[in-house]
């Protein structure tokens, strides 16, 4: 089967490897150079669903060298002043043997490994342009050209989209009073924020807050931002030094009404975009890749490839919609400080702290999706 992939971000690149491994001939179109693709300053949480997929296509052992595992995921609710932890024991038995609740990955290491891998696969042809000269040459076209996808605009595929009145600030910070194998997800009325381990004392802060407050904080000097961080980090954790520049990006929510149009299939952020809380974004994109590769490996569908876009779209909708709604609910939960929710909120936290069964259920959804 001949497939064109538009966009060589983390979704498009991984799709190229997966589909090539499934026996397809892949032309991978990208407008940016490899250097530009690599030099993005982003940090991702990697879950077991991604680990399984990377293992399946044979790149996990190489790639995992650059990942930082964490064994504790602390969830803190500042409004309630309560905390519980997800531990390795809360994972399914098969996931427990990896001794990690999840992993943290820096974009540049992931991208370098994946691009290296692509360069060793014969049936992937990288084409440095943004326009496919003749779409008739392809049985299927995968659009992985990101949330501002031109392909989607051209095909007039409708989507549900809104901007959060929030922005995200990220910084790499040296911290004291924290273990190098623990991550934090903090529910705060300004907006949720995450503290992710990058090895040793180095941590990535991903902090969402109102655009007004975020813009103010982005204009602070590093030492004043450190003072601000010391007021929002959990008790006992002290920020020492910010080791790079503060960065910020807007946060929006997007979900297509359909994940295909004719022979075009929408993958990754072309199809959906969610708030970074919970670290689900990239994992959801990669589950799209896995879903498509599975369909393409079915011999009956290989010979009747015109059915693949529709079946793909139907098969991915539930996972994408559920994780999108769940993530959005978490943001609303975090920002809601109405007294009437105090009791139900306390109850949820109490049950999660006490019930290993419920923790297992929630962590399984967070790590493996629906």
Ligand X SMILES: Cc1cc2nc3c(=O)[nH]c(=O)nc-3n(C[C@H](O)[C@H](O)[C@H](O)COP(=O)(O)OP(=O)(O)OC[C@H]3O[C@@H](n4cnc5c(N)ncnc54)[C@H](O)[C@@H]3O)c2cc1C
30 makes contact with ligand X (CB under 6 A) = yes
Three-state DSSP class for 251?
strand
When the beta carbons of 187 and 254 are compared against ligand X, the nearer one is 254
Site string for ligand X, 157-186 (x = CB under 6 A): -------------x----------------
β-pairing, 140-143 vs 159-176, is unpaired
d(CA 166, CA 208): 6
Interface region with ligand X, contact rule CB under 6 A, candidates 48-56, 142-150, 221-229, 314-322:
142-150
Point out the residue whose Cβ comes nearest to ligand X. Answer: 9
Among 21, 42, 51, 275, binds ligand X (CB under 6 A): 42
Contact in structure between 287 and 53 (CB atoms under 8 Å)? yes
282 makes contact with ligand X (CB under 6 A) = yes
8 makes contact with ligand X (CB under 6 A) = yes
197 makes contact with ligand X (CB under 6 A) = no
Site string for ligand X, 348-367 (x = CB under 6 A): --------------------
d(CA 274, CA 255): 8
Contact in structure between 43 and 19 (CB atoms under 8 Å)? no
Interactions with ligand X, residue window 68-107 (CB under 6 A): none
Minimum separation from the CB atom of position 50 to ligand X (A): 11
Among 191, 276, 278, 291, binds ligand X (CB under 6 A): 276
Q: Quick one: CA torsion of 68, 73, 76, 82, rounded to 10 degrees?
A: -150
When the beta carbons of 249 and 370 are compared against ligand X, the nearer one is 249
Quote the tokens at residue 70.
């964490």
Interactions with ligand X, residue window 232-251 (CB under 6 A): 249
24-59 burial, b at 16+ Cβ within 10 Å, e below that, comes to bbbbbbbeeebeebbeeebbbbbbbbbbbbbeebeb
The residue behind tokens 């991604």 is 50
Binding site for ligand X (CB under 6 A): 6-12, 29-32, 37, 42-44, 130, 144-146, 150, 170, 206, 249, 268-269, 276, 279, 281-282, 285
């Amino acid at each position: 089967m001949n497939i064109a992939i538009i966009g060589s971000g983390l979704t498009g690149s991984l799709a190229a490897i997966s589909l090539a491994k499934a026996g397809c001939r892949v032309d991978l179109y990208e407008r940016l150079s490899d250097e530009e693709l690599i030099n993005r300053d982003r940090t991702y949480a990697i879950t077991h669903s991604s680990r399984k997929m990377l293992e399946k296509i044979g790149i996990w052992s190489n790639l995992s060298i650059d990942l930082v595992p964490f064994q504790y995921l602390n969830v803190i609710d500042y409004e309630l002043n309560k905390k519980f932890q997800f531990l390795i024991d809360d994972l399914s038995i098969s996931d427990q043997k990896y001794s990690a609740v999840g992993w943290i990955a820096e974009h540049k290491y992931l991208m370098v490994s994946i691009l290296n891998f692509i360069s060793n696969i014969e049936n992937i042809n990288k084409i440095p342009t943004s326009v496919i000269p003749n779409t008739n040459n392809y049985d299927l076209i995968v659009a992985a050209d990101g949330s501002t996808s031109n392909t989607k605009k051209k095909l007039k595929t409708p989507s549900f989209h809104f901007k959060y009145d929030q922005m995200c600030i990220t910084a790499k910070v040296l911290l004291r009073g924290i273990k190098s194998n623990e991550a934090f997800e903090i529910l705060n009325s300004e907006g949720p924020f995450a503290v992710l381990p990058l090895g040793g004392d180095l941590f990535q802060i991903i902090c969402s807050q109102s655009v007004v407050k975020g813009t103010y904080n982005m204009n602070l000097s590093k030492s004043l931002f450190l003072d601000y961080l010391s007021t929002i980090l959990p008790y006992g954790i002290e920020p020492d030094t910010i080791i790079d520049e503060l960065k910020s990006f807007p946060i929006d929510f997007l979900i297509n009404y359909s994940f295909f149009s004719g022979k075009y299939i929408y993958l990754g952020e072309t199809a959906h975009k969610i708030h970074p809380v919970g670290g689900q974004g990239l994992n959801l994109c990669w589950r799209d890749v896995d879903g498509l590769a599975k369909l393409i490996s079915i011999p009956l569908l290989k010979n009747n490839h015109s059915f693949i876009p529709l079946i793909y779209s139907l098969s991915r909708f539930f996972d994408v919609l559920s994780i999108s709604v769940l993530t959005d609910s978490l943001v609303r939960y975090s920002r809601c400080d109405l007294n009437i929710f105090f009791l139900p909120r306390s109850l949820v936290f109490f049950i999660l702290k006490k019930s290993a069964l419920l923790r297992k259920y929630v962590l399984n959804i967070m790590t493996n999706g629906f």
